[in-house]
Structure 1
């Protein structure tokens, strides 16, 4: 638009757990000079990636409006979902996102805001701000602009792509890379895949937000809780060694062969003789491999006993992480599935149908468990970067870590087999990617 000032907004949001601790970042740049005019970031508490991304968009547009309400604004984000929904190419299905999109659309007159998808590496500035906000929030602080980063300086390396080639509002998706051109070729299958993966988590926000804060942990406190916003795709080779979590389900207890609910709200049984033998076999197998560098356990008796047997064999100390405890199954503790179906049929049906439903008698929903486990995962990733850590825990936390690593829906919890004393492995890379390397390995339990 001739004679109209052009502003560029780069925005991003992320959630460490989806839902989990979340934050956003946004930067406003003068398209003509390439100078940064405003930065903003905020920790949001527990919410989803989608909500955090929309909140980042809103913050960026508000900052642009405060600078010049008559400007033409070009928004660049690496969220395909937000870009496609705000341009009207995709429908907004989830009710939590509709009011955020409507508010964003109302900040400037129609036609004055254009949108472009950019690769994540070209959105580094907003991504960094979002992570700074999440780091601050997890320290119990509010984000503040770091010293030496006052507004008005050139955009620099973080935003050099933005400043170099401001896009014309007439062609909102005119990127300089073939990758972005590919992203414009949106198909119905693309839309279903992205919205199914991303919007599904938005329904879990209320329960996740209501979940109690994790208890204090004896895991070493990290100097910085920085963690990259989760992303999809293969991890580049130059990211350094991943942090590997070797996930060990505890050995059998007297309740295990009977397939009774045994969570964190019951009698907390110890290992049976079979369970102790299983733990010894795991310890021998891990000692032969020689790769475990630290051992962390759930606080429950069966996991602590399993962890001690293994750690003693490896010559390591055991740290306790409360977030790794099993789900509280409420009144179902100690019952078989059949007994629960007879006594609490409606509650069981609701629990099987929705991750937000909790077991009878004040139990813990899978949504609440996921938020707790994701927070524990982030603490452990920050405490043990680049190391191989044995996490001794339970069925639901292990399945949850696997599900989150794969971006799988909550119902996938019912579609995984996880045997007593089995081993699974998830690797986490510095850019936020995760890779499932092993699931339910019991080869170490077989007789020679």
Structure 2
């Protein structure tokens, strides 16, 4: 059986601040570098950046040989201990990433080992290269990477020194992805370690494309960089962020403390129901017309082309950002199951609209047509959303694009049941589901944490594709609530504190620097006679 060594690192200049990761896959027998991967993540915390590096390294190894054994070597004591199962993963931003990492290979094929920072220089250099590229407004390029060469050169210098050869003055210390990590694990509530880093989000959430380089003669293919995590963004600082550090991991001592409590934030929505389409239009105009926008409370996700910029809490003028991508979120019209309040996800009977649901779809189509702001329509593949989208598209003379990432959560054995029926038949599973976003419905459905990872990746893809435009997403209760939650940086339990009506409209504007602004939520004024 083939054996690989995966070395990974990640860091944040500011924590949260501009972040990136690096990962290396080596042949265990020869030590030869087989693949490199790195990605600029935008604004994030240290911890999730390292988890993103781990995920990228495992996926790169899996692409080479899914049957191989893998030895993961990292200078993050926190990640190594958590992935080894010896420390509990407490932070909601890291749980989905750890779950994704565990799913790449069967558990018996992967082992984890802590190493000193000095033995993780290539991954450290890759993480810094990614952040340097992001600081210039770009993304890491495999063709320009010098991490492998620099690391090998350093090794040769060390050999020459041991043999009596003169060496140059060493470079200044503490500018790499692993500098000054000694206090971070303690602030995270874990045993103190010498190596911690990451990126705050399960914006675990966003699945951005990570560039990669392979040592084989054929050109390298890009590899996925892991879920966005910022999928469950809870990593925004509660105070003004510190100045950016010189290197990837410099000054990490307060990182997890600021990420330990979910931010308290609120989006904006019209206070009166003056018409759904008018509210959506005002959202788009407010997003693009004034040059000012509120910064996102929940940290930052990668944006189009991998470019991202630091998020600053509060209001700031940014006339150079251009118009945002405005996602108008339409829940489908009623089905026969809707008035009965039955679980209806992606794993059930896939009901069509009822007569009332079709009437609702026509009403929202008329309202949107009066304003004329929708430029594209994207829908979930389920029957009720495709039918709703088709009615709106016919009225607006637009085509419908189907996006599988917008589907509803799979509720497993609960599909078609009422809440009371589930409580009667599966009380323990229901209580676990209500208390833990990683808990799945009975019968192996989809957890809210898994839904968040999927929605963050879908959001990032759509924001990149529709930058500067207003697009209607016809989807379901859980996807819309999740997108709102991520935009606000709210904790997972906020999903149970939102009411979302059939055929309601919500809207979120996403700016080029990664900030998001909730402009509308659960507006049903267009359904009133």
| Structure 1 position 416, deviation (Å) | 1.0
- Which of the residues 161, 186, 200 maps onto 1:91? 186
2:456 alignment partner, SS class: helix
Look up the match of 1:422: 504
**Alignment of 1:196 onto 2:261:** yes
- Which of the residues 425, 446, 449 maps onto 1:343? 425
| Structure 1 position 94, deviation (Å) | 6.2
> TM-score, structure 2 length as denominator?
0.53
Report if aligned partners of 2:333, 2:384 keep a CA contact under 8 Å in 1. Answer: yes
Look up the match of 1:102: 194
Counterparts of 1:242 and 1:407, CA distance in 2:
19
Aligned length: 321
Look up the match of 1:442: 524
Counterparts of 2:173 and 2:253, CA distance in 1:
27
Report if aligned partners of 1:13, 1:54 keep a CA contact under 8 Å in 2. Answer: no
Counterparts of 1:433 and 1:411, CA distance in 2:
22
Look up the match of 1:154: none
Structure 1 residues 367, 387: closer, same or farther in 2, change over 3 A? same
After the TM superposition, which residues 188-337 of structure 1 pair with which residues of structure 2 at under 5 Å, given as runs?
192-197=257-262, 226-229=305-308, 232-233=311-312, 234=315, 236-337=318-419
CA RMSD of aligned residues (A): 4.1
1:74 alignment partner, SS class: coil
| Structure 1 position 381, deviation (Å) | 1.6
| Structure 1 position 76, deviation (Å) | 7.2
Counterparts of 1:132 and 1:264, CA distance in 2:
24
1:91 alignment partner, SS class: helix
| Structure 1 position 441, deviation (Å) | 0.8
> TM-score, structure 1 length as denominator?
0.62
Structure 1 residue runs without a partner (length 5+): 1-9, 15-21, 27-39, 106-130, 144-177, 199-223
Post-superposition CA distance 1:125-184 (Å, at most 9, x none): xxxxxx9962669xx9347xxxxxxxxxxxxxxxxxxxxxxxxxxxxxxxxxx9739xx9
1:245 alignment partner, SS class: strand
Report if aligned partners of 1:298, 1:321 keep a CA contact under 8 Å in 2. Answer: yes
- Which of the residues 486, 495, 498 maps onto 1:404? 486
**Alignment of 1:24 onto 2:25:** no
More helix by share: 1
2:513 alignment partner, SS class: coil
Counterparts of 2:374 and 2:419, CA distance in 1:
36
Look up the match of 1:117: none
- Which of the residues 26, 35, 38 maps onto 1:42? 38
| Structure 1 position 434, deviation (Å) | 1.0
Report if aligned partners of 2:181, 2:195 keep a CA contact under 8 Å in 1. Answer: no
Counterparts of 2:334 and 2:442, CA distance in 1:
25
Counterparts of 1:373 and 1:142, CA distance in 2:
21
**Alignment of 1:60 onto 2:124:** yes
Counterparts of 2:435 and 2:504, CA distance in 1:
27
| Structure 1 position 230, deviation (Å) | 7.8
Post-superposition CA distance 1:193-226 (Å, at most 9, x none): 432249xxxxxxxxxxxxxxxxxxxxxxxxx962
Structure 1 residues 231, 356: closer, same or farther in 2, change over 3 A? farther
Look up the match of 2:173: 73
Structure 1 residues 321, 13: closer, same or farther in 2, change over 3 A? farther
Report if aligned partners of 2:11, 2:46 keep a CA contact under 8 Å in 1. Answer: no
Counterparts of 2:423 and 2:196, CA distance in 1:
47
User: Is the deviation greater in 380-389 or in 318-327?
Assistant: 380-389
After the TM superposition, which residues 105-120 of structure 1 pair with which residues of structure 2 at under 5 Å, given as runs?
none
1:402 alignment partner, SS class: helix
Counterparts of 2:443 and 2:476, CA distance in 1:
21
Post-superposition CA distance 1:332-372 (Å, at most 9, x none): 00101000000000000000010100000111101111111
Structure 1 residues 132, 298: closer, same or farther in 2, change over 3 A? closer
Structure 2 residue runs without a partner (length 5+): 1-8, 14-18, 24-35, 54-74, 76-119, 127-146, 159-169, 198-206, 214-219, 224-240, 245-249, 264-302
| Structure 1 position 102, deviation (Å) | 2.9
Counterparts of 1:13 and 1:317, CA distance in 2:
41
Counterparts of 1:229 and 1:326, CA distance in 2:
29
Post-superposition CA distance 1:224-283 (Å, at most 9, x none): 962445853356231110000000000111111111100001111111111111111110
Report if aligned partners of 1:42, 1:133 keep a CA contact under 8 Å in 2. Answer: no
Counterparts of 2:433 and 2:334, CA distance in 1:
25
1:73 alignment partner, SS class: coil
Counterparts of 2:341 and 2:208, CA distance in 1:
44
